[in-house]
Structure 1
Amino acid sequence: MAKTPHSNAEKPKARPRQRRKDARPSEIIEAAIAIFAERGFGAARLEDVARRAGVAKGTVFVYFPTKDDLFRAVAQTVLTSHLERLHGAAADLDRPIAELVPMFLAQAAAVIGEGRLPAMMRLLVAESRQFPDLARVWHDEVVSKVLGMLTLAIERAQARGEIRPGNARLYAFSIMGPMLASALFREVFRDTAPLPDLPELAEQHARTILDGLLLPDAS
């Protein structure tokens, strides 16, 4: 008896390069992070990003019409994947500041140690004058959110009588400054100088900054 045609036929296999459309933007962003870090914003080309992502150049334009749009998406991705922990560390505004600052700085050390943030900071420093929109994107998507949350936490601590009077935003800069400096130091001098131990820096800086911030009856 003749077999029914296709009765034992296997289902066609998916082509190796076939992928869900909703995965493409994240693949393009991951490729862009690498290309921007390697070549800088000005020298990066969307065709290079497309090649790294394994898609056609036209596909990049579908999701990101301009290179500025792509950079904004990169900044948002870095924020979501790496800096949300900083938000989490500073989000409990009623936590005693003596607990919040060490937690925040420890999370900052972990984020910096993972590598993406220092590379993006170096890119920003190198090219923000030629491409001022880069600084605006990074400020809006990253810096203002973290700085704003930390400033609000400090204001709450001042209202509770934990911290000395003073400009809360400047106190936030004082807390963040050494960690940001260490990120740039690691990125610029990673092949030429001993690098700071980030967890140790975070722990030591937390003690130092709290000695200056805390009121005597709050320590």
Structure 2
Amino acid sequence: MPTVTWSRLGGERRAAVVAAAEAEFAEHGFSRGSLNVIARRAGVAKGSLFQYFADKRDLYAHITDVGSQRVRSHMEAQIRVLDPSRPFFEFLTDLLDVWVAYFAEHPRERALHAASSFEVDTDARVSVRAVVHRHYLEVLRPLVHDARARGDLRADADVDALLSLLLMLLPHLALAPYVRGMDPVLGLDEMSAEQPALVVRRYVAVLAAAFGTGAPQTLSTVHFRGEHVDD
């Protein structure tokens, strides 16, 4: 967590440090990210960074939190627009479409997401994934529990398993359309403009079949941008 000194720092200086750290960690990740470069770009002494944060990992976790807050704010606004009281898997399809579109339009957020997902330093990866997962779960858990209360999920549905699958699916959909080799099975290595939306529907169909109360969805029963999608 940032120190008291950080909280007393002027807004412009904090913004400069955050911007410099985001750029460096997005490009190089934690292990190869340079505090010297961050300090130089932010216009502060390297020693000042250790007055603001306990260590490099603490700075990395804070930058992850700042980026996650931006993504979360956007998605929470979209959730309100999409109306989460609708049938859960219909709503989830639209939500995942919005999620994919967000990372298509925000390469900096995508790079930070990749840095946290692919980090080789175990302690750093655990620290930043804990931050990311906290934001995910604070948003997803109420949605899933409300869906169960409405009867959109089977009474015996393992909601923790569903949440765990969503925790794996979200970073995958944020990155797979842009990182070759992550998902060759569903065609994201040969991506067309429509492919991510089709993949979303295949994933949701599997989740609906496993956890939902209705008949399993297939590609022939879902709609893409208002048009029927055939098998």
TM-score normalised by length of structure 1: 0.70
**Structure-2 change in CA distance of 1:185 and 1:44 (3 Å):** same
Contact 2:60/2:128 (8 A) holds in 1: no
In the TM superposition, residue 103 of structure 1 has moved relative to its aligned partner by 3.6
Contact 2:89/2:208 (8 A) holds in 1: no
In the TM superposition, residue 102 of structure 1 has moved relative to its aligned partner by 2.7
Name the stretch that deviates more: 86-95 or 108-117: 86-95
Distance of 1:147 and 1:86 partners within structure 2: 13
Distance of 2:192 and 2:17 partners within structure 1: 33
Name the stretch that deviates more: 56-65 or 87-96: 87-96
Answer yes or no: is 1:24 the counterpart of 2:13. yes
Q: Provide Cα deviations, 1:120-161, integer angstroms capped at 9, x if missing partner.
A: 343234434xx3332332233221331343233222212221
Specify which structure has the bigger relative contact order, considering alpha-carbon pairs within 8 angstroms and separated by 6 or more residues.
Answer: 1
In the TM superposition, residue 67 of structure 1 has moved relative to its aligned partner by 0.8
**Aligned residue type for 1:124:** S
**Structure-2 change in CA distance of 1:112 and 1:170 (3 Å):** farther
Identity of aligned residues (%): 25
Q: Provide Cα deviations, 1:150-204, integer angstroms capped at 9, x if missing partner.
A: 23322221222111232112223444544422333345329xx544647624752
Answer yes or no: is 1:161 the counterpart of 2:158. no
2:212 corresponds, among 190, 206, 214, to 214
Answer yes or no: is 1:135 the counterpart of 2:125. yes
**Structure-2 change in CA distance of 1:93 and 1:208 (3 Å):** closer
**Larger radius of gyration between Structure 1 and Structure 2:** 1
Partner of 2:5: none
Paired residues for 1:17-56 under 5 Å: 21-56=10-45
Contact 2:64/2:132 (8 A) holds in 1: yes
**Structure-2 change in CA distance of 1:207 and 1:58 (3 Å):** closer
TM-score normalised by length of structure 2: 0.67
1:49 counterpart SS class: helix
Distance of 2:127 and 2:79 partners within structure 1: 22
Partner of 1:100: 91
In the TM superposition, residue 28 of structure 1 has moved relative to its aligned partner by 0.9
Contact 1:105/1:202 (8 A) holds in 2: no
Partner of 1:17: none
Unaligned runs of 5+ in 2: 1-8, 182-188, 218-231
Answer yes or no: is 1:60 the counterpart of 2:49. yes
State how many pairs are aligned.
195
Distance of 1:201 and 1:89 partners within structure 2: 20
In the TM superposition, residue 60 of structure 1 has moved relative to its aligned partner by 2.8
Contact 2:100/2:173 (8 A) holds in 1: no
**Structure-2 change in CA distance of 1:93 and 1:195 (3 Å):** closer
Distance of 2:114 and 2:35 partners within structure 1: 20
Partner of 1:200: 197
Name the stretch that deviates more: 164-173 or 53-62: 53-62
Distance of 2:191 and 2:116 partners within structure 1: 21
In the TM superposition, residue 211 of structure 1 has moved relative to its aligned partner by 4.4
Distance of 1:94 and 1:200 partners within structure 2: 22
Contact 2:89/2:204 (8 A) holds in 1: no
Name the stretch that deviates more: 197-206 or 166-175: 197-206
Partner of 1:75: 64
Partner of 1:150: 140
